[in-house]
Structure 1
Amino acid sequence: MLQFSKIEEGSFAPTSLEHCEVVEAIRDKAGFLPEVELAYEPEIRTLWVTIRPELKPVFTLQLLDSLVKIQSTIVALWGARDRYQRAPVRFLAFRGSGPFFTLGGDLDFYLDCLAKNDRAALTEYARLSAEGAIWNAGGLDGLVITLATIHAKAIGGGIDAPRSCNVMIAEEQASFVYPEIKFNHFPITAVAILSRRMGQRAAERMLLSGEEMSAEAFMAAGGLEAVVPAGTGESWIRKYCTEALPIHAAKTALFAAFNRRSGDLREELSHLGQIWTDCMLRLSPSAISKLQRIAQTQDRMLARVYQRHPAPA
């Protein structure tokens, strides 16, 4: 097992000792990281990020901020060109927990912002959504390969964060749906992220229909790299990392090249963030009431689900 001992400020180098300090190094530099858990597997140089929203399985502002802090901290610690060979993190892998992967964006946060007419808060939510997707798509500036595994239902804009990764897989019981069009709004980054993977027409059909797709159907449309049996998503990623580790430099270079060829993602997401914020602030009172009812329905649904599947202590 590798250890990474501190050799200078912001730099860790591999040694032959048995203890690993990668997670501690990230937490020390990033600071408070709510709603996520970190784990490191030195044999495959993989940092796992487990998404654990505290109240609802949605992408809260705090969760988005934690994800961006983790991404930027990895680059700050090990992203210099002359540190590539010593960098402990070659793969950044995301996973969820619980009966849902995500219910999408944070409706309670949206409603609070709309009640206060708080454009600044909505703008910050859009900015963090875009920033996380940009880091994932670029493999943290070519430092890592980003991966995600989806184990359950994924709804709305919460799909985009994992789909912005270089590799995204799903277990066979997972499903995917963007219902936002039915409620007179749209997910912030989906147009850009889905179009890059599925093509514009397929992405348009999915976003405009609001219909749910099975994992197999989503893969057939170009949305996934693999569909795997239930309970095997993490082992699939471990196998991928093991096989990709000897050719990591070439893979990251190819992912970076394809990402660049797809256009300026930052510029596109900046524009999408602006029009999303405008769209939210233009919602009519009846549309806002509908969002309130959806949020209340989520609460009741989650109460029933968690009664059947209590969280482990």
Structure 2
Amino acid sequence: MTEIVFRGPKDPKEFPHWRFQTLDIEHHPETASIWMNYREDAPQCYSLEMLVELLQLRDSLRALCASGRTSEFPFRYLVMAAKRPGVFSLGGDLATFAAAIRRQDLATLITYAHACVDLVYSYSQSLDLPIVTLCSVHGQCLGGALEAALAFDFIIAEENAMFGLPEVAFNTFPGMGAVTMLTRRVGSALTQQIIMSGQTYSGREMFELEVIDQITAPGGARAAAIEWMRETGDKKWRRRRAIAEARRRSHPITHDELIRITELWAECSARIEERDLRHMERLVRAQKRLIGATDRAAKAERSFESNSF
């Protein structure tokens, strides 16, 4: 059985110089925002290490606010973004899932799922802090990554970003918040359509379905997020925070609901058939090839830029 070892919060006195293995943290004074970026060299799925660090960051941000240091480092927006070209995140750690299913290790699936749900629930509540949360998406945002994004108050995405919940392809379902978060945004009928189809949608298509809030041109996610936060200052921020809170009150989400659904996911996933498991393992290999190709392309681009005059 795999266990999650929780870490205490970072020292508020060391902010904004917190260091993580999978995350880069930035403070943007002009927009009073903190950016949590998935590092370019980090696993592009939610590995156990990344989950532990995300939980630690959550607790660290709460400690930062409690310390009073936000007078020095204003904090009213939290932005989730990624630095790897072409990939926001590929979602759940399918290699861990497949290995646990092969050895019939339901406890590991549940432990992993509970950690994900703890994060998703925290995001859905804006970390219980007086902030607005924003997800800035480029590239592929699949499975658990989309579930995490949906828990944020607002989503901005590049029009050619790719969103999807592929779990139906191996006879399970997205169990870390998609059912709840999508239903809150677009209703139960469209939620079922998106989940059961397993279809991949562009950023523009997701905007037209009203799943996301704003689209921008390819390559423009970060600039669009900064401009969105800068827009009309305090007045717009207060209205956005009120809208986000109104959503929470009109369609309340409970931690218990998310736990019950994710335990259904774990039980369902543990019982998939051999052909479904082989399909999951093929997808793991395809993801590794995709990441390798993306890395090579990014390296070639950096080499070209460094040799250009």
Q: Helix, strand or coil for the counterpart of 1:93?
A: strand
What pairs with 1:1-313 in structure 2 (closer than 5 Å)?
22-24=15-17, 27=18, 33-52=20-39, 54=41, 56-79=43-66, 88-96=74-82, 97-188=84-175, 189-243=177-231, 245-247=233-235, 248-310=237-299
Q: 1-side partners of 2:49 and 2:99: how far apart?
A: 15
Q: Structure 1 residues 113 and 163 mapped into 2: Cα distance closer, same or farther (>3 Å)?
A: same
1:191-225 alpha-carbon deviations (Å, 9 max, x no partner): 11111112111111011011121211111111111
State TM-score, norm by structure 1: 0.83
In the alignment of these two chains, the number of paired residues is: 290
1:84 Cα offset (Å): 7.9
Work out the CA distance in 2 between the residues paired with 1:50 and 1:283: 34
Change (3 A) 1:45 1:78: same
Letter in 1 for 2:141: A
Q: Offset at 1:113?
A: 1.7
* 1:253 Cα deviation after fit: 3.8
Q: How big is the shift at 1:267?
A: 2.1
Report the CA distance between 1:53 and its aligned residue: 6.8
Shift of 1:168: 0.4
Q: Tell me by how many angstroms 1:249 deviates.
A: 4.4
- 1:221-256, Cα deviation, whole Å (9 max, x unpaired): 111110111222112221222236413445324412
Whether the 8 Å contact between 1:36 and 1:51 is mirrored in structure 2 is yes
Paired letter, 2:215: V
Deviating more after overlay: 49-58 vs 231-240: 49-58
Paired with 2:211 and 2:66, the residues of 1 have a C-alpha distance of 29
Amino-acid identity (%) = 23
The Cα shift of 1:47 comes to: 0.6
Secondary structure of the residue aligned to 2:78 is strand
Contact 1:130 1:273 in 2 (8 A): yes
The Cα offsets for residues 132-165 of structure 1, whole Å up to 9 and x where unpaired, read as 2222221121421111111112222211112211
Asked whether the equivalents of residues 94 and 148 of structure 1 are also in contact (C-alpha less than 8 Å), the reply is yes
Unaligned runs of 5+ in 1: 1-8, 13-20
Change (3 A) 1:239 1:303: closer
What CA deviation, in whole Å up to 9, does each residue of 1:274-293 have, x standing for no partner? Answer: 10111121122222222122
Whole-Å separation in 1 of the counterparts to 2:264 and 2:180: 13
Contact 2:22 2:42 in 1 (8 A): no
Question: Structure 2 unaligned runs (5+)?
Answer: 1-9, 304-309
The TM-score normalised by the length of structure 2 is 0.84
- How far, CA to CA, are the matches of 2:231 and 2:290 in structure 1? 41
Shift of 1:182: 1.3
Kindly report the root-mean-square deviation, in angstroms, between the aligned alpha carbons of the 2 structures. 2.6
